[in-house]
Structure 1
Amino acid sequence: MSEIDSEYFDEIKDKISVLPDIDKNSIESLLESMLYSNDEQNEITKNWISDLVEIKYKAHVLKSKNPVMKFPSKEDSEQEKFIEIGNVMSGDVEMHNFFLSRVNLSENIQVVGRAGTGKSTLILKFIYEITTGDIFWICFDVKDDYKNLCAMYDDTYVIDWNQIRYAPFTNPPPGMPKELWWKIFLDIISHATGLYTATPNHIVEHLKELDEEKNGNFTLQDVIDLLDSKYESSNKRDDYSATARNRLKAINTTFDKVFNCQFGWDISKLFHGRVIIRTFPLLFEDSSILIQTILMWEFYRRLFSQERFNRKFTYDKSMNDYFTMIILDEAHHVMSRQELSSVSIEKSAPPMSTFVSMGREFGLSILGATQMSHLLLGAFKDNAGTMIIGNIPDFEQRQHLGSSLGMDRDESKVLGKLQKGMWCCKVLGRTDSFILKTPMMDKGGLVAESEILFRSRPFVDRLESKRREIESRMFLAHIDNKKAKTPEVGQDAWLVLNHLLEHPWDFQKRVATSLNLSPERMKIAKSQLKSRGLVEFARFKIEREELHFILTRKALLLLKSLGKNPSRIAFWNLFNQIPSYEHRYLQFLVYIGLKDLGYVARSEFKISDNRRVDVYAEGEKRIAVEIEKSTSDVESKASVLADGLVDELVLLYTDEDHLEKIKSKIGSLDLPANKIWLGMARDYVKILREMKRGSTVSGSESSRIDQNQDNFVPDNNSDQNQDRNEGE
């Protein structure tokens, strides 16, 4: 066959490969017949082929608004099919569905496209398919896009980042040497914040000292305190220490409640279900620290537990027991190649490079979507088995991505012509590049925060209950070691003290339920704590009278000497007397009530240069709430309305006599009646609760877990009676 014939054969094969409605077998038979025919017969055959192919090809290309590319056959598209990700396209013609196999799913999946190309919709399609396939998945939601999924799929839970409890220095992955895990955790911080490469090693030296001093139980705050107390022997070591302190203090400010606990959650449980971790509105660098810590912890748990992912599992449902898909939108923030070029870390490899290179061996695969592929970690791109590329306007980025898809310079122009929901897709080992169309997916209706929390609370409670159980055992063991220096009280009394430190707003019934204490055991514990001056009691009535515990200064000093969280002790010091406790308690209830109704609420908010309010909320309107003990200064408080700083002012009182006096004062001020709410604090809280009950689809009375609290109110008078009968 001549060179001309060879070029002709290739040209015809390329053309029929993109035509949706042609008998490819017949054309290929005609081409094959030309190998055995003379020139005259071949000319006749070429004319036949031209009539069959050329006219259809030109018409197909001219009519198609979408790019025309070769496409995989139906047989190739359904090879070992498991999840369907869209339709194979030939120009504007939808050919057939395309499926990924279990093997394809177990390899990383890279999705790239500029804003508005449909990356979130594609992620929703994947979530729908893997949920239907009963695959475990964990989604890190950095933009607050996926919370509604908990109402669309059963047993799908949304966890806010500040609900997570994890002690990075106390809870290494099982089987992993803790010094090695400390180094990994500090490497994560280094690459996210820019530390010198030697700094983690420098900190680890001090961690060993702290580990021995604290019997293996210390927090991030303890590390900072130790670094603050150290005098370094050289200028270089002093630079390392100063840099570490500054970075760790910034992280501690953000993740105080997350990292400063005695014992954390069992992170592995997050990878055996359908979980959305909402990191919004964290800064991306802070979000990256938390996400990488969770991912690397699970990777090393599986590595040291030798939970290797046998490839034969990808051929049947046994895969479902071992495999977890990790979903990362804006993936370049977690897997960033910029970290490699940072001078401050001296070009050390990011920890995530190990994860993306070896994760599939342990049943961990990442679906990573980004609009900035040039910032994406090279190890992830090199280990992506499936590439799905949307519209790319930038020329250089098109060339780079086109090369990854096996396209030449001209062919890569296709990437600039793709419409929303259209992708250029390639599955390594299965297909060449082809055009894929993904369907529009239902994001679900707007779901109230209260319903999200109601649906997710059982899962969080299970994790938190196990953590508290272990933490309580650790606390009691610590007490036993220091018995000579502590008051003589029973274990139940110590558990109540420990619980109250973390849960200041819990009333008696909540404390007893959380600690599984019978009425008789609670009565004894209360008596012991009261007789030793460790607690005081106060009763407050909202919907019913509730007995609260207030830790005394003596109790806080005792807990401080036992190494309890300094930030929680400092928090309690703000209100360890009855009047200030009541004010803070009501402030908390109002804050929670407004937040549950969808407002963005803030406590002790500075509304102007010289004006602060107890609670400020933004939503349908701007609301300022003041909780008052007296009738003075009402003119100053009312000025927030006159100055246009808020749309509604709420003045709340705990004393009915004060309320009556203030009503006459308010009447003398020129204030619009529809912009001021005046009443008892308990009545306002009840109104907020009733509004929430009316807006919650499930009818649940559960509310946001914030500051380790919820404002659960008992449904019957038996709870009220226990508080009344077993008081001080």
Structure 2
Amino acid sequence: MVNADFKTERIKQLCRKLKPILGSRIDKIWQTYSLEDEKGKEEIEEYLKLLAMKVIGNDLEKETMLLYPPKKEKVTGDYFIGNVVYNDDEIYPFGLREDEWIQHVGIFGRSGAGKTNLGFHVVRELVKKSKPFILFDWKRNYRDLTIVPGFEDILIFTLGRKVLPLRFNPLIPPKGTDSRTWLKKLIEIIAHAYYLGNGVMYLLQKAINAVYEKYGVYSENASDYPTFRDVLRWLKNYKATAREVNWLSSTLRAIQTLCFGQVGYALNARRNQGIDELLEKKVILELDALTHSDKIFFIEALILWIHHFRLAENVREEFKHAIIIEEAHHILSGEKASLIGGEMVMETTFREIREFGESMIIIDQHPSQISLPALGNTYCTICMNLKHRKDVNVAANCMLLDDEDKQFLGTLEIGEAIVKLQGRIHTPFLIKIPEFEISKGLVSDEQVKEKMASYFAEILQNQGLIQDVPHIPKTDINEDETSLLIDILKYPFSGVVERYERVSVNRRKGNKIKNDLIVEGFIEEKEITLSNGRIILLELTEKAKSILEEMGLKVPRDTNGIEHRFWKHKIANYYRKKGYEVHIEEPVNGNVDVLVIN
């Protein structure tokens, strides 16, 4: 009985696959088969095998991918994705419709299967319909679109590189967002990106709360906002309990990362002017220069900002804007469990943001690494060739492929994909995505800079998105900090007490200036033990030397450290006071540190 049922189901599936070719004829064959006795069924089965060989060009024993194609009127849509394929023929185009984008799209496939090619098509369709978008580009794949006709108004920002940096301070809540709510969600994102525990999150909450109070963020009348450098200063001065010492060490490491180098420049702006204007434009954010954790933090922080910005708007469930995320498993990970338990911030955002007109398009090699809440809230799933059995099983479950058909996920050719929608068409079908004609690797940094400068520099500078397109300002140090740097240059071997007297500041203010310069990477502190006590020396970093040279000051470039130079200076002064002739770094059979001549 079991074998008979299995055979009947197999014949039913074969008839279903032949119907798009044979139409009503196959319905009659199936009806006849259902009424026949065992012998008659065997005869019809043999007939169907011969028929399959004739119309499909294969036999029943050899696996052939014949996913039942939807009706033409069912697959039409304003945004072209690819052509429906049946029996190796491309029969009609498939496209997504306006209201489907905000229910989210998932694109999956191994490296080289054609995901980026499909990404190009998605961008083209959005551009055609004048839909703004933000694309998080992990590998600098999409800049070549800017030389394709029709894509001239795409903006490109190079996060972590000087070419065209974008400044975004995540500590500034979107308008209409409760600051305390924002603080808690932002801390969870920091913890997710940098693998931080509950103790670190506790200290981060204390630190950010303190700088929010200092700058009047809770009173909603802040003219300037705190940055992560302010958070770092607070943590540097925080007196940790014995229990908090290890937490503080981990917290400092994480926040120092957000204050260092080009990432520090990008994230530490006093104001967020223009981020909302970006949501009305077509934007590519290149992330290749950022570290793995920095990429995750920046993407999650910006998406969270967009989510809360949209919350304050009145229009609902109207497709306004798309967010395209490559390597999405880093943001919507099924394996990286939330440290605080429950649903992660990004999973909640993914689920809720569609109501506010945002489409999330996630692109990844491994559907098995995407969290279940994210997969469960994706309307359109597009799967290209997959390699790993785990990926195949997850994708097959998402698209309700049976055991016979799921194996085809590992045999799809480049540009082929199986599509499953959660409405309109209820069964999976096969499409072929045409190759997007584009020359790759032709657009240099200089071309990107020139294009952005020519078309958008004035607008962007007015909005505060870019300051000085060709160059990044190296610092915004104040007058007191500048005075102390110049004093260190002129008097490298003085202690801090002498310095504070020369620049006319008291000890408390002087220590604050000194600590700020240390945090911002302009100076380093060195304690030297003397016979009668100790002295604190301050040494300029390369960053500070560059600033002083830009001011027109002559800065010596000595390869020796401050302690070595200090002792040379002490020894030289000692012998000069005794009346000897003293030379420093005298070339005698190689350089001599101190040459004393009687």
Please tell me the residue identity of whatever aligns with 1:151: I
Distance 1:462 1:27, change over 3 A: same
| Distance apart, 1:186 and its partner CA | 1.6
Tell me what 1:68 maps to. 66
Q: 1:412 aligns with which of 406, 409, 412?
A: 406
For 2:251 and 2:377, the matched residues in 1 are separated by 33
| Distance apart, 1:351 and its partner CA | 1.6
For 1:502 and 1:55, the matched residues in 2 are separated by 67
Task: Map Cα deviations across residues 225-263 of structure 1 (whole Å, 9 max, x no partner).
Answer: 11111112x433333322211211123225210122211
> Alignment identity in percent?
20
For 2:293 and 2:211, the matched residues in 1 are separated by 27
For 1:229 and 1:146, the matched residues in 2 are separated by 44
1:191 has 2:185 as partner: no
Tell me what 2:593 maps to. none
| Distance apart, 1:565 and its partner CA | 11
Distance 1:124 1:151, change over 3 A: same
C-alpha contact 1:423 1:436 (8 A) present in aligned 2: yes
C-alpha contact 1:19 1:90 (8 A) present in aligned 2: no
Please tell me the residue identity of whatever aligns with 2:181: L
Where do residues 183-222 of structure 1 align in structure 2 (5 Å cutoff)?
Answer: 183-216=184-217, 217-222=225-230
For 1:380 and 1:374, the matched residues in 2 are separated by 11
| Distance apart, 1:568 and its partner CA | 8.6
Please tell me the residue identity of whatever aligns with 2:26: I
Where do residues 335-346 of structure 1 align in structure 2 (5 Å cutoff)?
Answer: 335-340=332-337, 345-346=339-340
Please tell me the residue identity of whatever aligns with 2:66: V
For 1:142 and 1:398, the matched residues in 2 are separated by 24
Report the TM-score when normalising by structure 2. 0.72
Where do residues 26-175 of structure 1 align in structure 2 (5 Å cutoff)?
Answer: 26-28=25-27, 31=30, 50=48, 53-56=51-54, 59-60=57-58, 67-78=65-76, 81-152=77-148, 153-162=151-160, 163-169=165-171, 171-175=172-176
Tell me what 1:239 maps to. 246
C-alpha contact 1:77 1:97 (8 A) present in aligned 2: yes
For 2:48 and 2:178, the matched residues in 1 are separated by 71
Please tell me the residue identity of whatever aligns with 1:413: Q
Q: Which moved more, 1:565-574 or 1:147-156?
A: 565-574
Distance 1:48 1:374, change over 3 A: closer
| Distance apart, 1:379 and its partner CA | 1.8
| Distance apart, 1:394 and its partner CA | 1.9
Which structure: greater helix fraction?
1
C-alpha contact 2:166 2:465 (8 A) present in aligned 1: no
| Distance apart, 1:433 and its partner CA | 1.6
Distance 1:47 1:236, change over 3 A: closer
Please tell me the residue identity of whatever aligns with 1:190: A
Distance 1:205 1:443, change over 3 A: same
For 1:264 and 1:288, the matched residues in 2 are separated by 20
C-alpha contact 1:67 1:417 (8 A) present in aligned 2: no
Match of 1:400, SS?
A: helix
C-alpha contact 1:265 1:463 (8 A) present in aligned 2: no
Please tell me the residue identity of whatever aligns with 2:204: I
Please tell me the residue identity of whatever aligns with 1:249: Q
C-alpha contact 2:167 2:465 (8 A) present in aligned 1: no
Structure 2: 5+ residue stretches without partners: 218-224, 487-502, 524-541, 560-586, 591-598
1:436 has 2:444 as partner: no
Please tell me the residue identity of whatever aligns with 2:367: S
Please tell me the residue identity of whatever aligns with 2:357: G
Tell me what 2:568 maps to. none
Where do residues 217-228 of structure 1 align in structure 2 (5 Å cutoff)?
Answer: 217-228=225-236
C-alpha contact 1:65 1:92 (8 A) present in aligned 2: no
RMSD: 4.4
Please tell me the residue identity of whatever aligns with 1:282: L
Q: How many residues align?
A: 498
Match of 1:174, SS?
A: coil
Please tell me the residue identity of whatever aligns with 2:246: D
Where do residues 693-712 of structure 1 align in structure 2 (5 Å cutoff)?
Answer: none
Structure 1: 5+ residue stretches without partners: 314-318, 472-497, 507-528, 537-552, 585-603, 606-632, 637-728
Match of 1:252, SS?
A: coil
Report the TM-score when normalising by structure 1. 0.60
Please tell me the residue identity of whatever aligns with 2:80: E
Task: Map Cα deviations across residues 348-400 of structure 1 (whole Å, 9 max, x no partner).
Answer: 53221111111111111221111122222222111111111122222233223
For 1:228 and 1:275, the matched residues in 2 are separated by 37
C-alpha contact 1:166 1:264 (8 A) present in aligned 2: yes
| Distance apart, 1:504 and its partner CA | 6.6
For 1:378 and 1:34, the matched residues in 2 are separated by 42
Q: Higher relative contact order at CA 8 Å, sep ≥6: structure 1 or structure 2? A: 2
| Distance apart, 1:96 and its partner CA | 1.6
Distance 1:377 1:106, change over 3 A: same
Distance 1:229 1:21, change over 3 A: closer
For 1:264 and 1:64, the matched residues in 2 are separated by 61
For 2:400 and 2:415, the matched residues in 1 are separated by 21
For 2:112 and 2:247, the matched residues in 1 are separated by 43
C-alpha contact 2:82 2:434 (8 A) present in aligned 1: yes
Distance 1:464 1:179, change over 3 A: farther
| Distance apart, 1:211 and its partner CA | 2.7
Distance 1:43 1:262, change over 3 A: closer
